[in-house]
Amino acid sequence: MFDKLLIANRGEIAVRVIRTARRMGIRTVAVYSEADRNAMHVQAADEAIAIGPAAAQESYLRGERIIEAAKRTGAGAIHPGYGFLSENTHFSDACEKAGIVFVGPPAGAIDIMGSKSKAKRCMVESGIPVLPGYHGDDQSLDVLAKEAEAIGYPVLLKAAAGGGGKGMRRVDRPEDLASALAGAKRESAASFGDDTMLVEKLLLTPRHVEVQVFCDSHGNGVYLFERDCSSQRRHQKIIEEAPAPELSEDIRKAMGETAVRAAQAIDYRGAGTVEFLFDDKSGEFYFMEMNTRLQVEHPVTEMITGQDLVEWQLRVAAGERLPLLQSELQRKGHSFEARIYAEDPDSGFLPATGTLTHLSTPTEDDYVRIDTGVREGDEISPWYDPMIAKLIVWGEDRNIALRRLKQALSEYRIAGLSTNIAFLYNLAADEAFTKGAVHTRYVEDNLEDLVRRDQRWDRRDRALAGLYLALAAGQQHNQNAAGDDRFSPWGLADAWRVAGPRPYHFHLLWHDEALLLQVEAVPGAAGKFRVDANGEAVEVEGSLSGKHLYAIVEGHRFTAEVADSGSDITLFTAECAVRFTRSSGDWEHEAGHGGFTAPMNGRVVQILAEAGQPVKAGDPLLVLEAMKMEHTMNAPADGKVESFHCGAGDLVNSGQVLLEFSAEEKAEV
């Protein structure tokens, strides 16, 4: 076994490999770009070498610089992780020529499986079932049109050298083939430098089931069971699970044995994943492709087998035999992995950038695991994949594991940028997903509903939102009450006054829609409020304990887990995630007397009013800067600012009282 390992990658997979190497007593070397100088993987490794500018083409994709770093530090092996150079035949060859062990398969195996057309031809020759299709060299429109007609529409155009959904087009009619082919070729050439296309029969509602295989240099090969990756968007996996639900044991065994045969047909070595399309209706499965590396979703296999696949990789790369034979491998329980990304579901899942100003995660234990490469305060930059973490859970069966997944997602709280956490929760809570009845097109077909489930703004949702905001405001004001006696009636913010209950006014953004919630305490009923939204009222009662909201709406009891970043708030219920934002124009405050609190960490840019001077409703009071954006806080009513608790240039924390406001009392007629 080599005593020093260089990890030619970054982020969570680099941290993941370092963790296993350290446990095995292997020293580690990280590489980093200028953008990753202070990254988590750099600090986790024993040594770190700078390899270039932020752009991956000038750093993580420069194989010669990585090999030079290995030579400088005396690393005997290089683990490529996934992505970047993990499936690059030239890099694998270069490592071998430099006398450095490449922790992966031989270059020949990478070459065959790196080309979809070569891979399909090889599988056909080996008797592996593949989808009907054309994998030839003649790329003329006439030939491809003839082959598509013979296969039968709909067909799928796929880039032979591609992956990740690039260079793919669905074609339903012969008259659409030419334009679809031109677009797919352009995309493939731009992404991979190769516009060679395949034409395959398109299964309309297949499942994506893949098998984890391992081979050593002594002729041994095993499969570590299967994973279901059918929850996809634009051919990108979202939630993976192991084992695949609703499969017979005969199918599982047939898939596993076929996957091992596919790997051995190309003299494979190390970890690999053979991906199949499975037709529920016919019970048939077809080879799709083989990934010649460790997969992003490998933790779910580790959770159900109790094996460390990175350790297996290192042992096989060092020339050892596989740790276990097929008959010795056992699976136990069920596991899910959810990929948490910095992206905005409301904007077509565009990647989000920014600083993780707040990061609170579920507690890790035997049932919950988090693989990540970032910490609170780190920046998600535009240079690399915007993955924040992989959340992995395990349960004794699928139902238990799914409950743990939803619970863990509700406890994952991030502020500073948009994430897909609420979307993941909604998918995990979806009825079809719960039943294990999801196919590869399910998310796309139901995408609008999955994204918009936290935008219903129905009676229950606005009642929960109003209840939480009112209870949280009361708690905040009580904590900031003047004097030592926090229970003095003069310091409490319980909405009581001689003239009757004083309402709260909350200005919200509900996915770009401006909304006003008026919340008024019901006299003589502690914890009971009347919530009015755009003229429609509903009564709600409940309490707030830590991050748990307990509510009764029209006789229906609810419990919600609250994730409050200061500006963005998500209420996780059993059915879905309800997300809204305190408006940048008028954040949480009381319409009568009380304090304005900062909704997030930021800097006071400007004070726009004077203490004691009258102001009109809507007049600007101060400007707060957060996440490079300025937000103006306005007067909620005619009145005056009693006092400011901040000045221009001050840094303020989320929840900090910025000013005290007093509304003008209206004469009663």
Active-site residues: which are they?
Answer: 293
Q: Is 179 exposed, middle or buried, given 0-12, 13-18 or 19+ CB atoms closer than 10 A?
A: exposed
Residue 660 token pair? 């005290």
Find residue 289's DSSP bridge partners.
Answer: 275
The answer to whether the CB of 66 falls within 8 A of the CB of 73 is: no
Beta-bridged to residue 31, according to DSSP, are: 49
Gap between the Cα atoms of 388 and 371, Å rounded: 9
Q: What SS3 class is residue 474? A: helix
The angle subtended at Cα 433 by Cα 428 and Cα 438, nearest 5°, is: 135
Quote the tokens at residue 256. 């596993």
668, amino acid identity: E
The CA R_g of the chain, rounded to the nearest whole Å, is 29
3-state secondary structure 85-140: CCCCHHHHHHHHHCCCEECCCCHHHHHHHHCHHHHHHHHHHCCCCECCEECCCCCC
Backbone dihedral angles phi then psi of residue 181, each to the nearest 5 degrees: -65, -45
Phi, psi of 346 (to 5 degrees): -70, -15
- State the first-to-last Cα distance of the chain, in angstroms, to the nearest integer: 89
DSSP notation for 154-184:
SEEEEETT--TTTT-EEE-SGGGHHHHHHHH
- Interacting residues of 405 by C-beta distance below 8 A, sequence separation 6+: 239, 336, 338, 391, 393, 428
Cis-peptide into 53, omega within 30 deg: no
- Contact (Cβ atoms closer than 8 angstroms) between residue 143 and residue 199: no
Of 81, 9, 101, which Cα lies nearest the Cα of 309?
81
Cα 320 to Cα 314: distance, rounded to the nearest angstrom: 9
Structure-token match 């990280």, residue found: 30
- Collect all residues with Cβ–Cβ distance below 8 Å to 611 and sequence separation of at least 6: 640, 641, 642, 643, 644
Instruction: Give how far the C-alpha of residue 105 lies from the chain's centroid of Cα atoms, to the nearest Å.
Output: 29
Q: What whole-number distance in Å separates Cα of residue 64 and Cα of residue 244?
A: 40
Structure tokens at 658: 């910025």
The 8-class DSSP code of residue 54 comes to S
Three-state DSSP class for residue 65: helix
